Structure 1
Amino acid sequence: MSGKRGACLVCGKPLLYYENAREMECSICHKKFENNVSCEDGHYVCDVCHSKRGIEVIEEVCRKSGSRNPICLMQEIMDNPYIYMHGPEHHVLVGAVLLTVYHNCGGQIDYPWAMEEMVRRGREVPGGICGFWGCCGAAVSTGIAFSIMKKATPLSGKSWGQANLMTARALQKIGSCGGPRCCKRDSFLAVQAASEGIDEEFGIRLEMPRKTVCSFCGENEQCIRHACPFYEKETAYE
């Protein structure tokens, strides 16, 4: 697969998004799906193939980590070449990092079960829903993590509402920043929102950096630059 991040994993060319879904064949597993995105040359990579190695990296790093800082842990994982500039692996990444740091900060949780559930649920959140559904997967990931922490189900009372409010809180922060999408920016914003929610609900304060600086802006052709709260010119590269 192409090493160029933020573009087609097969050839490295820019991705095109279509208003209407069409049947496409994954260039890796050759299964057919209804989808809205391909590269300029027509290559399409399904969510499973796109995120498989990245999710394995997320699980491995999180399970070994003693970090109490979700931003630092997330940046460590993002530096891995299998965590692409954009992609559905971020829908697992955000929640996995939150659960890990929550556990490391003393949160009462069955961590092995929680991680297994986070991966199972997070990988079901499709890529591209930020634009097509109006519900960024990074925000959904915070709701999944919160639901796991509270052991919420569709029949729960208070915890049902709390999980939905957590997603809404992250969506508010992400939506207020505006688009186009950036999986890195949206993940940072989602974790910031979730850390506040965890502190308020559980009284557990996650360690957060005084300032979060994105080092991936040069990989994102749609980077909003100075409009992004994490952009610093010195970290950008072309």
Structure 2
Amino acid sequence: MKEECLICKAPLEYLSEDVEMECELCHKKEASKTRCVNGHYVCSECHMQGIDRLVGICLEETSGDPVEILNRMMAMPFCHMHGPEHHVMVGMALLTAYKNSGGDLDLKKALAEMNSRGRSVPGGACGFWGACGAGLSAGMFVSIVTGSTPLGVENFALSHKMTASALNAIGEIGGPRCCKRDSYLSILQAVKFVKEHLGIQMKQSEIICSYSGRNNQCIGQRCPFSPLQKTKE
């Protein structure tokens, strides 16, 4: 089933300005631009219920391949086709693979920080901010592993360059948004970036998307991860 609204599965709509909405699950009221065509709204916290489990899962993970780790995360029941959970998962997958590939990192502390930072990026940031949360998550990953702060020098630069690289890859493909595609693109850019700038070689498995049947806005052969690309080869 192609899922969009978590309540009724109807398509989502994106408004041009904020409107006060009430979450159908926790009944919190807040301003948002996103709801389904039937008027249902689910806040980011409710949308990401269960994501705290990722810290424990990542600490037990042994793979040095962030794509492999991300795929396992995306197969979990709390991960939806689209949503702000991807803003946390991209960075967590990269942190875990980085550590397992020989990176010097307090993984438990880093994962907790990634969880906090990633949650701060709302759903729809890709369209409303001009910065996809998956790409920002890759930049957060580099910021965390290099210890960047607003007063940093080289690590400050590296964090911005990582974010720019991920967002450029996302922009080159164009829209409409796909949280799976943009997460994969961000991770692939991060694997190359970390090898070049931090000297850590993470593994990179082939990506063939299995989510097109669940995405109402799938771009088909324009997507570099589409199975249709393989049939052309």
Q: TM-score range by the shorter chain?
A: over 0.9
Q: Is the 8 A contact 1:118 1:144 kept in 2?
A: yes
Partner of residue 101 from structure 2, selected from 95, 105, 118: 105
1:58-207 correspondence to structure 2 within 5 Å? 58-207=54-203
User: 1:59 Cα deviation (Å)?
Assistant: 2.3
Q: Which amino acid aligns with 1:87?
A: G
User: 1:73 Cα deviation (Å)?
Assistant: 1.0
Q: Is the 8 A contact 2:135 2:186 kept in 1?
A: yes
Q: Which amino acid aligns with 1:68?
A: G
Q: Which amino acid aligns with 2:82?
A: H
Q: Which amino acid aligns with 1:207?
A: K
Counterpart-to-counterpart distance in 2, 1:47 and 1:155? 30
The alignment's C-alpha RMSD in Å is: 1.4
Counterpart-to-counterpart distance in 1, 2:217 and 2:93? 26
Q: Is the 8 A contact 1:139 1:167 kept in 2?
A: yes
Structure 1: tracts of 5 or more residues without a match: none
Q: Is the 8 A contact 2:86 2:183 kept in 1?
A: yes
Partner of residue 215 from structure 1, selected from 199, 206, 210: 210
User: 1:5 Cα deviation (Å)?
Assistant: 5.7
Deviation readout 1:104-143 (Å, 9 max, x if unpaired): 0110011111011000111111110000010000000011
Structure 2: tracts of 5 or more residues without a match: none
Equivalent residue, structure 2, for 1:36: 33
Q: Is the 8 A contact 1:63 1:100 kept in 2?
A: yes
| Matched positions, count | 230
Q: Is the 8 A contact 1:57 1:77 kept in 2?
A: no
TM-score (norm 2): 0.95
